[in-house]
Amino acid sequence: MPGKTSAPNTPRITKFTNCRLVRGSSLVEQDLWIDSLTGKILKDQEAFYELHLSPDEIIDLGGRILAPGLIDTQLNGAQGFDFSVPCATKDEYDQGLRLVNQGLARTGPPFPWPRRNNPHPLDGAESLGAHVEGPFISPGRNGIHKPEVLRSAQTYDDLLHCYGASNLAPPPQHTSPIKMITAAPEVGNMMAQIPHITDTGIIYSIGHSDATYEQAISATHAGARMITHLFNAMRPFYHRNPGVFGLLGQSERRRPFYGVIADGIHLHPTSIKIAYNAHPEGLVLVTDAMRLCGLPDGVYEWTNGERIVKTGARLTLEGSDKIAGSSATLIECVNNFRRWSGASTADAINAATAVPARLLGLEKVKGCLDAGADADLVVLGESDDPYSGPTLTVDQVWKFGVKIHDADKVTAVAV
């Protein structure tokens, strides 16, 4: 039972009232009941009339928004910990992962690394799987991936050798933490490997790729369901050859999901708006954040021996203007996206909740407020920023029915 127990004084049944719930493309005034024992959202009528449960706690949210926990499908690290740097021991890795997850709990639970069998609410954010970016990517579209580590796969054995056979075992043996692989379909003989990858249950995502429109279409026919950070590290849109971006003009059935880094640095707001208008149901907000998130400005050692310059949210490779990931939070991306795209508040939130949950095949479990789904919630306040306009803030984070972050309390303590 995933959410079983929590802190000793945690109330079992909590009822949120005077709140607006994200329901489809709308915000609906409605109560929500959750159970910290099962970690699930309750069916309110049933809880009251059939199960004879009454709330142990009633929380008046004063009209604030209650949304599902946020899901980030592209995260390289945080809190000074980097997923791409090998650890000396498993303990060291687990400790780093815990640090990341606890830090992320302040901005709404996400995606990244190995999912534990019995995640505990107080561990912070939950890891739903690993997104492995590379090394089978285009040398010309490598971004800050070091050219020396890039590879080209001719056969499936090349993939097994790189990722490890147990990580690519087909279901039901597939218990690997790998949930998604980003690779360039035109590199080597990758196109022929896509069906083998998707047969294991792993999502194949086109990224760091110089694929033409035709090659990108072939990749979707082979099973690609996602585009990694659309526009960044790929052949640009050209009117005679729209490249990977052209997939958004495909028929309903073939259009893949696509990640968008709405940090104000990676993409022009209008590019995001154009993509969203072309395929609104597929847009997945991602941060692509890395370990320098939250650290002060300065020059930092990078994993490949080079150095990264951090200036505010902007991260570049020293001596060049190459963008080196981001340090934005997911709620900042939601706010930017809402401002730039014209999406409703609910749909802006959906791009970081319901849509990634659908991509991951977790639509009834995560990213929604339906009865039976995990009680992972964020309470969103709304302030009026004099420069940026209405801005959502993460006021509270709940995991499996237990409150794990309360910004009001943090402020109170700080004062």
User: Helix, strand, coil: what percent of the chain each, to 5?
Assistant: 25, 25, 45
Map 11-32 to HEC letters.
CCEEEEECCEEEECCEEEECCE
Euclidean distance between CA atoms 290 and 70, whole angstroms: 17
Answer yes or no: are the C-beta atoms of 412 and 95 closer than 8 Å. Answer: no
Euclidean distance between CA atoms 32 and 67, whole angstroms: 11
Answer yes or no: are the C-beta atoms of 144 and 325 closer than 8 Å. Answer: yes
Euclidean distance between CA atoms 379 and 359, whole angstroms: 24
First-last CA distance in the chain: 38
Euclidean distance between CA atoms 23 and 168, whole angstroms: 36
Phi–psi pair at 34, nearest 5 degrees: -135, 160
The DSSP secondary structure of 32-80, one letter per residue, reads EEEETTTTEEE-HHIIIIIS----SEEEE-TT-EEEEPP--S-B-EETT
* Residue among 373, 372, 332 nearest 108 (CA): 332
Phi–psi pair at 191, nearest 5 degrees: -50, -40
- What amino acid is encoded at 395 in this protein? D
Active site residues: 288
Question: What distances in angstroms separate CA 361 from CA 251, 358, 365, 373, 408, one per listed residue?
Answer: 21, 5, 9, 13, 34
Where do the DSSP E strands lie in 84-223?
130-133, 178-183, 203-206
Q: What is the dihedral of CA 201, 39, 285, 387, to 10 degrees?
A: -170
Phi–psi pair at 86, nearest 5 degrees: -60, 140
